[in-house]
A and B are shown apart, each in its own frame.
Chain A
Amino acid sequence: MFDHSEPTTPSSTSTPTSEHAPSISLDSLSKTKSAVESLSSILSSFPSNLSFSISSSNLNPAFSLLHDPQVASQVSSLLREPNSGAGDNNLCRWLYDTFQSGDPNLQLVVLRFLPIIVGIYLSRVALRKPLAGFEAILLALYAHETTSRAGQPITMNVPNLSLPSVYHEAKAPINNSTELNLAVISPSLEPHGTVRSTRRARIVGVALELYHSKIYHMPVGSKIDFCDFCVVWAGQDNNDDDRDLNKESESNGRKEGRIQLPWELLQPVLRILGHCLMGNTKNKELFDAAWAACNSLYARSMHDINPKALLATGSLLKLGKKAMEPSEDLDPTEIRKSNVLVI
């Protein structure tokens, strides 16, 4: 009905936006200024409006940086260069420093590139390329999450309808035997100073958990990058032939980039994918990318015979399919039509 696109300008009471940005502190502004300056020395051509806007009326320059398509495409292509992950890489250095600046708006800019960082990183691990630059960024994200969670696990009380809740009534249980079922969504975090290979999936998984918690602020392009990498990681051709495979993986041979998908990695991947597919079905480009990713991961789950992944990806496929069908439901918020209008 409406050509309503993904809110590229996330507007919510808690988020400063370019339109109604609350006063951004001077400290934050100077951090952003220096981040923009150092980034402009790394990128070959820096959008003039951005560097200009710092000094002028732009109220939230970090926000502009996050959503600037030119910056995104330049950073993305630099990250995809063969030796981009090395310890002495300028861009990695910049991403690390920018995240460590502690400014939440600048941290979003770093998170925006997490899909590419993780995607390139995981696919390159087996190739024995220098990756210290990527690892420094990932460890910084992991440490941030460890501190903000105080190392504690994220748990959940699985609802039990025999107990009354805010949304429904139930007879109070006779005894207290109806215990709540405690589920661990993300186990406790221990500090890591280096990426030990057996903890790699966990460290990346936690970084993705952080990404998921901020996904509302992420530009569509970042989410599409993520979905494209899901296809690469799954390493599975699926039956849908109308899908165009990631170009990079195609040129390198068909199943390049397939990685192990342990649950600690797959779980945050699936949650992000759920958002990409169902968060806003009106953005066609994102929906298509997410749909392709779901198909690939479903095929991969079949090959791994992974029951949990089969259930999760299978249900997403059913939901996605339903979203693609034209809705035949009557709009319940439409007033009844009649040819006699009554007051």
Chain B
Amino acid sequence: MELWGDHSDVESDSEWVRKVSANGVSMKTTEVEAKLDQGNIQEAEASLREGLSLNFEEARSLLGKLEYQRGNVEGALRVFEGIDLQAAIQRLQPSLAEKPSSRRGRFRTESVHAVSQHAASLVLEAIYLKAKSLQKLGRVSEAAHECKSVLDAVEKIFYQGILDVQVDNKLQEIVTQAVELLPDLWKQAGFYHEAIAAYRRALLSQWNLDNDCCARIQKGYAVLLLYGGVEAGPPSLAVQIDGSYVPKNNLEEAILLLMILMRKFILGKTQWDPSVMDHLTFALSVCSQTPVLAKQLEEIMPGVYHRVDRWNSLALCYSGAGQNKAALNLLRKSLHKHERPDDIIALLLAAKICSEDSHLAAEGVGYARRAINLAQGIDEHLKGVGLRTLGLCLGKQTKVSSSDFERSHLQSEALTSLEGAIPLEPNNTDLIFELGVQYAEHRNLTAALRCAKQFIDETGGSILKGWRFLALVLSAQQRFSEAEVVTDAALDETAKWDQGPLLRLKAKLKFSQSLHMDAIETYRYLLALVQAQRKSFGPPRIQAVDDKVNEFEIWHGLAKLYSSLSHWKDAEICLGKARELKQYSVEALHTEGVIFEGRGQFQEAFAAYNNALLLEPCHVPCKILISALLSKRGLKALPVARSLLSDALRIDPTNRMAWYYLGMVHKDDGRKADAADCFQAASMLEESDPIESFDSIL
């Protein structure tokens, strides 16, 4: 057992001579050590008692310490076992009469006077060294019991806790070491519950620990709480103070302790320990509290982390909480050419964030290209990820492209990138899904269908959007009944509360098949579901809100359904309900216009469409309907109608209604050939419109 390794060179030095001193006398230990080496404890003890005028316990304690320092822990243990330490502790305890009457009274500095403090530290040190000896011999749980008795004794002797002024340095040192050692011993012995109790005892009682020691204990405890696998339960009521925060489970307690440690570093009370931040990062990200983590990162003084590291970590935190805008701003800083432009993870994250917003997509293309170029050497495995994000960004960019040419160029480039990623990312089901959506947007429905089926197969149907996508592709192929079969299969695989989007899809499918009563029935069921959901979860929902159908959509869907059946009264009632839930809605205004138009109130319809366009200038269906209304007013209005339709087609080039009305305008204007082209486009597109837009599921 190499315990004194750092001293081995010193020990070989002949200058190294141990001395013992007490009562103003000191003596060399050579002789005593020789006796000890012969296994003659009594004689060694006797020579110490003689030489230094010590009593039996003092001599034994000193002897044990000597053996311990010599590295002979077995010998030390033998010596300590010869002392009745418990009896010694008994003698040290103040009698009941000595206890002061008032609890808050000044500590009895006089009663525990210098002499008994000396005796106390002698006995406590002996027990402590016994514990350490046992620890070194691997008898950890015995060591823990000894160590615990040190603390028990201290609590009995100083039953009001330890304050600075009361105890001498030596005693304080032993107490501090014992407080720190005990939980560690329980932990080593595998007694985690006892370790937790010992940590709490260390942190919640008055031991007058120094900052560094307290920080080490807090960290050790946090680690045990986080990873030990034993639930600690809330601390006892005795230590709880009114209005203070009481952790009630391991995560809360660990995070609290780690935050306190961070605060101590920031205030300069303890040394910086990067692992504290790592533990905190793990704890907070596992419970999805990355914004809290971001706050912690922001509080750290400059100079601890490199600023780029900090920006990148912050970006992960914000992006992890869906605050992508903040994340992107940070990444822009860190990816600046003067900072760290070649950080591949930062580039990929930036590209991914950009791929979710058509106005940022072009910027994302740049990041993705940089990432692809950097995917070499040990990062080569990330090339597929780069291509995938590039494809997604390009696909998103098509939504805002200004010309048809640019659009088709971007679209095919997007497809090439995603297809190129497939062999590099085998079995990446998300990639297959994204490629499928891209095919669908490109109206390559056969390929899209293949991807959709593959996605469902490989995910075992576990992802809802896979089912929805398959149904949409089938609906785009006008295979409504098959789409319905898929939707029904998906409903079977979905728990009640998640069925909303599927039921909405089903209602629309019924509607497309002119099964109006079935559609109404489905909407009614959906409405009941949504209302029940709202009641059972209450308004401030802690459930995830994504992918849920809201009540507005249902009322609005019903309004559209009734208006298509020319049941204007019912349509109006449903629309009224919808507008109660959402006052300014483009969709509602659009439907309102349709109802007015159906009733022959063209002026009001026109106003409704216009209002909708004021809310959302790019709303294609309203543009089309306005131009349809205008084109009925005669030749004078045709150029306006035509420009509106061209605009609509610029935004949505696959909109068959826009092509159809543009054809009508050309026809009315006498441009037969142009009209024929438009009608042809409209008739071709009719075959491939999905029931809900494809990008609604990405």
Q: Which residues of A are in contact with B by a Cβ distance under 8 Å?
A: 1-4, 7, 9-14, 125-126, 153, 155-161, 163-168, 172, 180-185, 187-188, 190, 192, 196-201, 212-213, 215-216, 235-237, 239, 255, 258, 260, 263, 267, 270-271, 274-275, 277-279, 299, 302-305, 307-312, 314-316, 318-319, 322, 332-337, 339-343
Contacts and interface: CB of A to CB of B under 8 A. Distances in A.
B349 A307 contact: yes
Contacts of A125: 460, 462
Given A161-B260, A343-B22, A187 B542 contact: yes
B69 interface: yes
Contacts of B235: 166
Contact of A305 (B231, B385, B463): B385
Contacts of B54: 343
B381 A237 contact: yes
B278 A318 contact: yes
Contact of B244 (A156, A164, A258): A164
Contacts of B279: 315, 319
Given A183-B287, A197-B462, A340-B20, A302 B382 contact: yes
A332 B132 CA distance: 12
Interface stretch (B190-198, B408-416, B653-661): B190-198
* Nearest 5 A/B pairs, CB to CB: A7-B190, A125-B460, A307-B320, A197-B461, A315-B281
A166 B240 contact: yes
Nearest to A330: B6
Contact of A166 (B58, B247, B282, B494): B247
Given A165-B245, A333-B180, A311 B290 contact: yes
Given A308-B290, A337-B7, A315 B282 contact: yes
B233 to A, nearest CB: 10
B191 A11 contact: yes
A304 B290 contact: no
**Most chain B CB within a 10 A radius of its CB, from A167, A182, A302, A309:** A167
Contacts of A3: 138
Nearest to A299: B381
A275 B227 CA distance: 4
B585 interface: no
Contacts of A7: 189-190
Contacts of A309: 285
A236 B289 CA distance: 27
15 contacts: A7-B189, A10-B190, A11-B141, A155-B542, A167-B204, A184-B542, A185-B251, A190-B495, A197-B493, A258-B427, A260-B463, A303-B384, A322-B275, A341-B18, A341-B69
B65 interface: yes
A235 to B, nearest CB: 6
Nearest to A304: B430
Contact of A311 (B26, B69, B316): B316
Contact of B255 (A159, A196, A200, A314): A159
Contacts of B243: 163-164, 172
A166 B241 contact: yes
B103 interface: no
B61 A343 contact: yes
Interface of B: 4, 7, 16-22, 26, 29, 52, 54, 58, 61-62, 65-66, 68-69, 122, 125, 128-129, 132, 135-136, 138, 140-141, 173, 177, 180-181, 184, 188-194, 203-204, 212-213, 216, 218, 223, 226-231, 235, 239-241, 243-249, 251-252, 255-257, 259-260, 263, 274-275, 278-279, 281-282, 285-290, 292-293, 313, 315-317, 319-320, 327, 345, 348-349, 352, 378, 381-382, 384-385, 389, 425-430, 457-464, 490, 492-498, 542-544
A198 B494 contact: yes
Given A2-B140, A215-B229, A311-B320, A158 B289 contact: yes
Contacts of A322: 275, 278
A10 B260 CA distance: 31
Contacts of A9: 190
Given A9-B190, A188-B543, 9 more contacts: A1-B136, A13-B193, A157-B245, A159-B245, A183-B287, A185-B251, A199-B495, A275-B228, A303-B425
Nearest to A202: B495
Nearest to B464: A198
A343 B245 contact: no
Contacts of A216: 192, 228-230
B59 to A, nearest CB: 9
A255 B427 CA distance: 7
A190 B462 contact: no
Contacts of A156: 249, 251-252, 287
Contacts of B317: 307, 311
A164 B192 contact: no
Given A161-B259, A308-B290, A311-B285, A332 B493 contact: no
A278 B241 contact: no
B286 A183 contact: no
**Most chain B CB within a 10 A radius of its CB, from A157, A187, A200, A275:** A157
Contacts of A190: 495-497
Nearest to A334: B132
Contacts of A255: 426-427
A198 B381 contact: no
Nearest to A311: B285
Nearest to B59: A343
A332 B177 contact: yes
Given A302-B385, A318-B278, A339 B140 contact: no
Contact of B542 (A153, A164, A340): A153
A156 B213 CA distance: 29
B138 A267 contact: no
Contacts of A182: 542
Contacts of A197: 460-462, 493
Contacts of B128: 335
Contacts of B16: 339
Given A302-B348, A305-B349, A307-B349, A157 B257 contact: no
Contact of A198 (B132, B289, B498): B498
Contacts of A336: 173
Nearest to A333: B181
Nearest to A190: B495
Contacts of A310: 316, 345
Given A14-B193, A153-B542, A341-B19, A303 B495 contact: no
A11 B141 CA distance: 11
B231 A343 contact: no
Contacts of B345: 302, 310
A213 B62 CA distance: 47
B319 A307 contact: yes
B389 A279 contact: no
A12 B281 contact: no
A69 B348 CA distance: 46
B18 to A, nearest CB: 5
Given A10-B190, A172-B243, A343 B140 contact: no
Nearest to A258: B427
A263 B288 CA distance: 10
**Most chain B CB within a 10 A radius of its CB, from A311, A337, A339, A343:** A343
Nearest to A182: B542
A9 B141 CA distance: 13
A239 B379 CA distance: 9
B286 A271 contact: yes
Contacts of A312: 281-282, 285-286
Contact of A157 (B21, B173, B229, B252): B252
A267 B22 contact: no
Contact of B69 (A180, A267, A304, A337): A337
A293 to B, nearest CB: 14
Contact of A341 (B62, B122, B457): B62
Contacts of B428: 258, 303
B348 to A, nearest CB: 5
B66 A341 contact: yes
A334 B184 CA distance: 13
Contacts of B256: 159, 165, 167
